[in-house]
Chain A
Amino acid sequence: MEDHLDIFRQVLDRQVVDSNHFACGKVDDVEIEGGKTHRVVALLIGNGAASDRLPALPRAISRRLFGDRVVRVPWSDVDVITEEIKLRRSAIELGLDERTGFAHRLVSKLPRSWKK
């Protein structure tokens, strides 16, 4: 992995995929530490982190509608950075798998009809 990273261009708002290449959100924000030189400590994924980047009123509306959940992914869990950011662990382990949500329960009840 590179020593120097352009956080704005190479990390923030990039697609995140888990170890099985399953999409699990975007980098909604990053946690940074350090004084003179900055270091990324974690990726933040979820509406709580994303809505903090909005002006006050849209932020309040967004949080009211979509909640303020944030999943913190430690930088040590980042595997490879290309156009996407691939993690070392699975979406289920990280709490980022959409197959635990309402939409999945609903869609799974419909008759299976998909054909490749």
Chain B
Amino acid sequence: MKKILEIFLGILTAMGGFVEIGELVFSVNAGARFRYSLLWVVVLGTIGIITYGEMAGRIAAVTGQPVFAVIRERAGYAAGLGTLMAAMVLSVLTCAAEVGGIALLLKFLFGGNYFLLIVGTVVLFLLVVWFLSFQAIERVFGLLGLMMLVFAAAAVYVRPDWGEVASGLIPNIPPLDDSKEYLVYAYFAVGLMSSIMLPYETYFYAAGAIEDGWNPGDIRLNRVITIIGFGLGAILALSLLIIGAAFFNPLQIELSLPETAALAPALHFGKWGLILALLGMFFAFGGAAIENGLTGAYNLAHFFGWPWGKYRPPENASRFTLSWMVMFIVAAAIVMTGVDPVQVVEYSIIFSVVILPLSYFPILMAARDNDYMYPYANGWLADILGWSYLIVISVAALFAIPLLIMTHGGKG
């Protein structure tokens, strides 16, 4: 019974924690710009995160080693350090964007000074991470993030063309006006896939598996959580894209503020739709901010071999504790310069594509290594998917930055 409850909670928290500000913006805007034609990218990205999340969780359960320990062992110190530095920058930028996004939501709800709201948000998160256990943080933000399901209900109420939805799920390139639009389409495809496969998700997931004390007996739990939890989480991303296509596209609106996305549930379900959407976003962004803050500290500790973990008293993991505190403070400082959080997250998502192969190649090498993982090394399916996605993300990594420059950040 306890195991079933654990699986159930694991699935729900994986689902509730699936969406963050970058995914929200990319999904809605992909729909607003190209209607349903990019839905297949959500499916592609979701299978990718399931593949690599499952491998990272399995390695953690079998060997007790988190992702950056594996990266260092497999890629060596110099290449590993380069990947670590890039991952740190991206985690702090993503954390900054989530904090900024929350401050915008709070300003929209209650008014007040944006900069004070940033400070208040970061102080709240520092207290939450200091006072709550890992499991409590994971469950509070994951479960309350499920209020985002109001977007799934709204996606049905906006009356999408289900035929178009179905054909959008199959890889396609729609007829577009000019060649520049094709580049923007490619930019959105790369960005949308990256927003679903953000590298911090695997780092955090594997660290969480060790925090939760997983062992080889939890491999089935790992598989169920990644396949069903991430799979159901994708429903949220699909719903946001459908809302973009059926609601924002006819109005010719593209999101530049996250709270605009709440218009669709607000119009269809009234006051409660709006409240659920905003609260859902608060917990989804909050969960992602905390995950990114902690991920920065996990990565440093795993790379340099420091004592780490929320399960330890802070004074027994002091560099780890100080690191996540500094992550939040730097993130707050970034958004307090007045940069637009939505812009910040768009850049961090596009640059994330570049480090995806550097993170995922060592994971694949470790997961398929029979000496290291015996008898839990990759089967044929994980191997085929792993290699296929490595090719896909490597191609995406080559084109991500040129596309960002050529399309002026997707503006065409």
| A contacts, CB < 8 Å to B | 9, 13-16, 22-26, 28, 50, 53-55, 58, 83-84, 98-99, 101, 103-104, 106-108, 110, 112-116
Contacts and interface: CB of A to CB of B under 8 A. Distances in A.
Interface stretch (B11-19, B104-112, B307-315): B307-315
Given A16-B305, A23-B308, A98 B318 contact: yes
A104 B77 contact: no
Given A25-B304, A26-B304, A54-B81, A83 B63 contact: yes
Interface string B127-167: 00011010000000000000000000000000000000000
A101 B318 CA distance: 9
Interface string B68-100: 010011001110110000000000000000000
Contacts of A114: 313-314
Mostly, the B contact residues are helix
B313 A26 contact: no
12 contacts: A13-B73, A23-B301, A23-B305, A23-B308, A83-B64, A84-B64, A98-B307, A103-B319, A104-B318, A110-B130, A112-B313, A113-B130
A27 to B, nearest CB: 9
Contacts of B315: 99, 104, 107-108
Interface residues of B, number: 30
Nearest to A108: B315
Contact of B77 (A50, A101, A110): A50
B311 A13 contact: no
A74 to B, nearest CB: 19
Contacts of B318: 98-99, 101, 103-104, 106-108
Contacts of A53: 76-78
Contacts of B304: 25-26
Given A23-B308, A53-B76, A53-B78, A103 B69 contact: no
A106 B322 contact: yes
Given A14-B73, A23-B307, A54-B81, A113 B131 contact: yes
Contacts of A101: 318-319
A15 B319 CA distance: 16
A55 B321 CA distance: 30
A103 B133 contact: no
